[in-house]
Amino acid sequence: MQSDFLDAHDRHWQDAEMLYAAQRLANADHLYGMAVECGLKRLMLAFGMPFDDQKGKPVESEDRQHAERIWVRYDTYRSGFHQGTEYGLSNPNPFGDWHASQRYARQSEFSMQRVDPHRVGAQQVYELVRKARWEGLI
């Protein structure tokens, strides 16, 4: 299948919000991370991230990471782009404690206190993607 970070970002964000509203926090949390990963990778493409269309993935292994690392890696591309100053992320990284492997964890390990910072971070990326669409960047 062909990679489409923008479509995946939208899908994961919308599903995460539905699951959050239904108090399905474990899966909402997982999808917030996936939404962030896909949204930032789409912005990174706009900022010049090398991408192998044949393989359907970023060229650099550092760019083939999940939310917790992509949040930090994103600045590598944003800082070198003339419009990048308008697309910054908050510090510290709200996904520093998030890992894709958490999809195997028990539901009882997910609380609002754990998920809410991830939701706020995902909302920030959602707004950056929306801004990039509005401004014609993506």
One-letter amino acid for residue 54 of the chain: Q
pLDDT tens track, the chain, 138 positions: 789 999 999 999 999 999 999 999 999 999 999 999 999 999 999 999 999 999 999 999 999 999 999 999 999 999 888 888 899 998 899 999 999 999 999 999 999 999 999 999 999 999 999 999 999 999
Cα separation, 30 vs 110, whole angstroms: 10
What's the count of helices (H) and strands (E) in the chain, helices before strands? 4, 2
DSSP code at position 137: -
Its pTM stands at: 0.95
**Domain span holding position 104:** 5-134
How many folded domains does the chain comprise? 1
Sign of the CA dihedral running 31, 37, 42, 46? positive
